[in-house]
């Protein structure tokens, strides 16, 4: 999936109605808050939980459940080639700082400019996460001369 130019956001289904996107009466919209995230990934309060913002720049994004990873294609000759590069990219990744994300259940990834109530009427990805605490880390990896992938790994936090 792709955004219309801003960040993508993974909002827990339980709080989708609380995400106003670019709409709203406040001086700073939810979309503005998402745009203020510095770096590849960040967390924002939404309702009584937090949403995961995939920051940096707009990029075509897929979720690969077998790797527990959002894969963002920043530059690649072909989509099939970039997805085939994921195992090597995960192996070569130099991961950024870890953050903890408490998730109440499945999340929906969509363009942060859209309100949560309209998220399923456009391009979106539903990710079935089990309620619990997750470790989130991001990396930016080159797997070839013209292939750059952003990786956001979401792994259950074990005791």
Q: 75-99 pLDDT, tens per residue?
A: 765 554 567 788 988 999 999 999 9
Outline where 75-156 has alpha helix (H).
79-84, 86-92
CA dist list (Å): 83 to 10, 41, 103, 112, 123: 20, 20, 26, 24, 19
Q: How far apart are CA 30 and CA 27, in angstroms?
A: 10
68: which DSSP letter?
T
pLDDT tens column, 125-148: 999 999 999 999 999 998 777 778
Q: What pTM does this model have?
A: 0.90
pLDDT band at 26 (very low <50, low <70, confident <90, very high): low
| Domain definitions of the chain by residue range | 8-156
pLDDT at 55: 84
Sole residue written with tokens 């009427």: 121
Q: Residue 79: what pLDDT?
A: 53
Closest Cα partner for 2 from 86, 84, 74, 97?
74
d(CA 61, CA 9): 11
Which tokens belong to 24? Answer: 């709203």
Contact 107, 10 (CB under 8 A): yes
């Amino acid at each position: 999936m792709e955004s219309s130019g801003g960040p993508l956001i993974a909002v827990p289904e339980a709080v989708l109605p609380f995400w106003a996107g670019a709409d709203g009466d406040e001086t700073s919209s939810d979309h503005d808050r998402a745009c203020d995230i510095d770096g590849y990934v960040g967390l924002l309060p939404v309702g009584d939980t937090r949403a995961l913002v995939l920051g940096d720049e707009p990029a075509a994004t897929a979720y690969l459940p077998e790797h527990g990873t959002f894969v963002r294609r920043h530059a690649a000759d072909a989509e099939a080639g970039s997805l085939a590069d994921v195992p090597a990219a995960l192996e070569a990744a130099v991961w950024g700082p870890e953050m903890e994300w408490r998730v109440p259940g499945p999340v929906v990834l969509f363009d942060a400019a859209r309100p949560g109530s309209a998220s399923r009427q456009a391009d979106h990805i539903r990710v079935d996460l089990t309620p619990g605490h997750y470790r989130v880390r991001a990396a930016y990896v080159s797997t070839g001369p013209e292939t750059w992938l952003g990786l956001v790994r979401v792994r259950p936090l074990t005791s």
